[in-house]
Amino acid sequence: MHHIILLTGILFIGSCDEQRVYENNVDFKSSEWASTDTLIFEVEILDREQKTVFVNIRHQFDFAWRNVWMNLSIQFPNDSIYKTTLNIPLSQPDGQWYGDCTGDACLVQLPLKSMTNYSFPDTGTYVFSLNHEMREDPLKATLSAGIRIENTLKAE
């Protein structure tokens, strides 16, 4: 009986995130992200269906900043490279944190405007690179950062 309950729970949890194509977050040792620590994510895109790309950052409540500046680079399968700088807001002016906050940590998932309802031009391997560009180095009270790609919801 316990096996059936466990299997049902696993199937339920797995089915809750049907839109996710890819998600990977890198945890930082000692909750510090050095600017020289570039995060690399290799993503296999298998179709040209519309997707949305998110940048994730998880931080502690004692994070010293209201936003995070990040550099994002994407290498396409044809070796062309897209580079941009992102300003990711983490809190409102009154100090209220954005995102999903539980315990003493918050997860912010920022959809990229240029990659919302986006059709990747080619199938193949895309390489995403992230690093921060903040004055504080290493960036303290940072738990993890990463990339999420999900299928765009289709109207039914």
Residue 1 lies in a domain: no
pTM of the model: 0.84
Residue 98 lies in a domain: yes
Local structure of residue 16 (DSSP, 8 states): T
Q: Are 142 and 57 in contact (CB under 8 A)?
A: yes
Output the average pLDDT for the chain: 89
| CATH code, 29 | 2.60.120
Statement: residue 45 has pLDDT above 50: yes
User: What's the structural domain count of the chain?
Assistant: 1
Which pLDDT band, with edges at 50, 70 and 90, does 61 fall under? very high
Residue 14 lies in a domain: no
Which pLDDT band, with edges at 50, 70 and 90, does 23 fall under? very high
